[in-house]
Structure 1
Amino acid sequence: MSEMNWLHDKRTECYSVQTTMSVGDYIDLIKTAHSARGALSGQRDTLKTTTAKRIRDRMVGDLRRGAILPPVVIGAVVDEAKFAEYPITKAKTPTDILPDEVRKDLSIIDGMQRTSALLEAVEIDSAVRNNQMRVEFWLTKNVRTMVYRMLVLNTGQVPWTLARQLSVVFAPLLNEVQDKVPEINRMFTPDKPGRRVNPGEFSSDALVELYLAFSLRKTNVDTKEALSDEFSRLDFVENLSDKSFQEYFYTTLSVLTKLDVSFSRYDNGTNAKFSKGRNIFDSQPARIGFTVATAQHVLGRPGMDRESTDRESRMAQLEKNALALLSKLETMNAEELGDFLKLDVLAETLDRRVGQVGRYERGVYFEGFQVLISENFELRNMEPCWRAN
């Protein structure tokens, strides 16, 4: 292990630390993350085309002959206290700069294919473990700057879907969500699956989709295919450049969850589709509708971005109005809450026979929550929301 070279990125308030380490030490470091989160290769699929396989086979052969690969970039999100210690000029190893709890959530920002080749080469020839390689650690105190680094600086490579790029910072993003939005009672993940039975419970996939929808300010976000609209990618980058963007998302998620908990006090005891207030946000279209309505109100429509001061005042006022509504709902008994929610009107609106049901439902909820926001959350009941479409 050689000494570490520190550079401070003033634009994103991060540290870039480059060092040289043995392939064996690098693999051991990666295996820590692997054992804690399942197959690390799931962050970005190893390319499976015939050409890609032949190139990787050639890379494995070159590694066995002592080839040096371009630096692999590893991302790590640390807490404020640890970040304040940087730069640690006497640091010699990743252990010196990364706390134990961070090492299991490392992200390979750049170099998944090279890492796959290294693992394969070591499996074939253990002597490769002694080879030296360059590694860059990208140290940040929040997820936003890591996503910004990934989207802006990792250009000109094999295209990723936007969802795939976000999955690279999947673990730290969800960790930050749990820290910043304590109202969320439970989060389901592929490693810890579950079913929503109470308010404030969401799957990790649903939360990542909400993050995408909030930034893109669109109700229909294709998280499986490559993003065809480059303007959407640009919108994402522009939002991430706003230091307050991440906090706006967490505030939105907090308000949504508080409404979910409050609505859930109503239950008419039947087996109807909308018999419980919780049923509203059981639906991902409803969550996305609220998230995007809030995003457009605060951030502006795509292509019509608001100034940062306007965003800040709008977010503060929206949160204030939402909390006032929540206080009002707390004074209602179950019957009064049911009259306010007007679930029968919502059920009738959603029961129309239409094509592309998911798209239709997102539109209903988006327009409905736009009404709620535009009326400053001061409605006698929710019927105007459910009849807005």
Structure 2
Amino acid sequence: MSIKISSIDYDDVIKGKFITGSTNYSFAIDNLIELINKLDIQRKLQSARFYKRLEKDIIDGCIMPPLTIAFIDKIDIINNYNDNQIEEYVNREIHNAFILDGIQRLNTLDRIKDNEKVNRNKRIFLNIIICESMDNLLYRMITLNNGQRPMTVRHQIEILMGNIYNFDNLSLSLKNEKDKSNLKESFNKSDIINAYIAFLSASTNIENQKIIESKMNELITDKIINSDITSDDLEFNEITKLIYKMVVDNEYNMEWFKNLNNLIGFCVGIRRNFQYLINIDPNDFSQTVKEFEKTFSGFDTSKIRLSSQRRKSVDYFISNFNNFINKEEIEMLSLLNEME
């Protein structure tokens, strides 16, 4: 298979052609991997450990994010080409191209190219740039790879939830910290974001004052990548709908969920027990939670980190809710004592 062109536009900033197209893994293996080391200014290859998950995803049949490749040539000549001539040019000159974005992805593909489970016919998408200025090419590379300080995973999720995620569909009343209205009926948006991070990472350990922020963000990113969030059909909006069901006419449940540690523990534990909890009556839920709270008060607070222990305990409680329901305090304490 060759590269098939889908669209052709002109980039006024770098004064060159911007083309979208696609090919398949087989073509990429035979023609694009060799371009990895073409430019000295390109990033060094990172440790394979960071891309173990991408290896698995490729084998499982994922669509890889688009690669960006570039050609340096006289743009006034290219401007006179029709669509078919540009497609012919790209395929003819592919060995003279440079990889602007996607080196790590191609290196990952290179490591597993001999794995018989890799579908070589799987489509891979390309952004293709043709311009005559090396300076402009370098500018585009910087904006693609290193043009700004990398966003933390928390910041990316904040942007996602602030600009893409439709809070109106969450079935919950949300407020910013500066909003003092509806205090009893509303959740802090920042708490929902933290709960979302916990849900994505499948971990209650999403903050630690003893770990510097940059390293904590790396840990969270690693947890999200390895959490198998794409392996099930459970969506976060389903979790918020369940929370709404529990709190809408139950003031005790509302106050319990407004405790951030409870909310985080719930959003982690529910991933393992959603089908059971979705059928629980809110009043039955509150009765079991009340018994859990009596049990939790049995922990010696002088010997534990209270917030961390609460998150872990709620996670365990929710993920094993079917074992806790209708149990009394001493029975619950026995169950919590078995928690790892």
Bin of the TM-score, shorter chain as denominator length? 0.3 to 0.5
* Larger-Rg structure: 2
